[in-house]
């Protein structure tokens, strides 16, 4: 993970996996018969996914070699905060929001977390400093977010909803703070163990919350629906194990740049899997977001 030449393919793998997760979640809702307003089922769905993914990661050799006695009390506290922020809050908002917004737009809105992560990194860590190219990159990215929300003949943001776009943006904020916390936690324990424990704890909280709210109706269990759940579990266990380890071993900005590909791949997968209409503005917005993150991390030329 600390070898620089492996950073591009590993980070790109994470981008592909997470962009594929957006349409798979909506397809999973459809196959299992989960309605857009069935909050209990959505939370329960997320809890099953992340708790199982966390347990799978904890079975990896890198996680099993962690000496639990070597973790301080403050380390356990940081791990709990990491779990609640990076899994519980982030995906509670994500699973709610995806039911009220097209997955293509959701993928692009979620990319705002990359900009916030870079800004927070500039404020907290000494290896990142604010510059004009980073400010310009954030402006380009924000332009993409505006473009994706504008419909011809309608007022700007007229179709924005709190349960849709608002929850996806809150998910992006949680993701950014989770990225910062991953760097902190990595200094206190093995990152593979922290990733697995974080998902298991956060997923367990989501599972209990889903049971407390309660599904509106029984799920329509089918081979296709179960297959989608398994695919999402594997996406989480593989993607977060790689991504969190990269954040622990490399400057955050060099890893976050690859999240720019998530909205680009997201609109393609949404079109192929869900049959959503592919609009030119989705591609243009994705390119703007990608250009913004590239500009943010561009090196200065003398």
Q: Output the DSSP codes for 136-154.
A: HHHHHHHHHHHHHH--TTS
Q: Looking at residue 302, what is its pLDDT?
A: 38
| pLDDT the model gives residue 107 | 64
52 is in which domain, residue-wise?
Answer: 4-296
Looking at residue 64, its pLDDT comes to: 81
Per-residue pLDDT of the chain (302 residues; tens, 9 = 90+): 778 788 888 988 998 998 888 789 888 988 999 887 888 998 999 999 999 999 999 998 878 888 888 888 889 999 999 999 989 998 888 877 866 776 556 666 777 787 788 888 888 887 767 777 777 877 787 777 777 666 665 554 556 777 788 888 898 899 899 989 998 898 899 899 999 999 999 999 999 999 998 888 899 988 999 999 999 999 999 999 999 889 888 878 778 777 777 777 777 787 788 777 777 777 787 788 778 777 766 654 43
Q: List the Cα angle 53/268/36 in 5-degree steps.
A: 60
How many domains is the chain built from?
Answer: 1
Among residues 84, 66, 69, 75, the alpha carbon closest in space to that of 188 is found at: 75
Three-state SS for 109-124 is: HHCHHHHHHHHHHHHH
Q: What's the predicted TM-score (pTM) here?
A: 0.83
Between helix 103-110 and helix 280-296 the angle, nearest 10°, is: 10
Residues in the chain: 302
Cα distance between residue 197 and residue 63, in whole Å: 9
At residue 298, the pLDDT reads 63
Quote the DSSP letter at residue 299: P
Is residue 301 in a domain? no
Q: Is residue 213 part of a domain?
A: yes
Residue 69 per-residue DSSP state: G
The distance between the two most distant Cα atoms of the chain, rounded to a whole number of Å, is 63
Q: How is the chain split among helix, strand and coil, in percent rounded to 5?
A: 80, 0, 20
């Amino acid at each position: 993970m600390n070898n620089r030449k492996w950073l591009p393919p590993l980070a790109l793998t994470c981008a592909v996996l997470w962009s594929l997760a957006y349409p798979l979640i909506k397809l999973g809702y459809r196959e299992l018969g989960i309605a857009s307003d069935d909050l209990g089922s959505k939370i329960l769905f997320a809890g099953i996914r992340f708790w199982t993914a966390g347990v799978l990661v904890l079975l990896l050799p890198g996680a099993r070699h962690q000496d639990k006695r070597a973790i301080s009390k403050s380390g356990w506290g940081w791990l709990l905060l990491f779990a609640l922020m990076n899994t519980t809050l982030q995906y509670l908002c994500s699973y709610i929001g995806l039911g009220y917004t097209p997955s293509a737009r959701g993928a692009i809105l979620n990319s705002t977390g990359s900009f916030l992560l870079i800004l927070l990194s500039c404020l907290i860590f000494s290896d990142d400093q604010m510059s004009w190219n980073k400010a310009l990159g954030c402006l380009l990215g924000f332009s993409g977010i505006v473009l994706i929300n504008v419909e011809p003949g309608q007022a700007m943001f007229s179709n924005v909803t709190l349960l849709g776009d608002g929850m996806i943006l809150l998910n992006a904020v949680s993701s950014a703070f989770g990225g910062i916390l991953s760097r902190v936690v990595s200094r206190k324990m093995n990152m593979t163990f922290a990733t697995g424990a974080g998902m298991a704890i956060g997923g367990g909280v989501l599972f209990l919350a889903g049971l407390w709210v309660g599904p509106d109706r029984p799920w329509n269990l089918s081979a296709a629906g179960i297959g989608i759940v398994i695919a999402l579990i594997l996406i989480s266990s593989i993607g977060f194990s790689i991504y969190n380890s990269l954040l622990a071993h490399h400057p955050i900005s060099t890893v976050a740049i690859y999240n720019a590909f998530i909205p680009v791949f997201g609109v393609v997968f949404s079109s192929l899997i869900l049959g959503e209409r592919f609009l030119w503005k989705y591609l243009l917005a994705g390119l703007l977001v990608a250009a913004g993150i590239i500009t943010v991390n561009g090196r200065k030329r003398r």
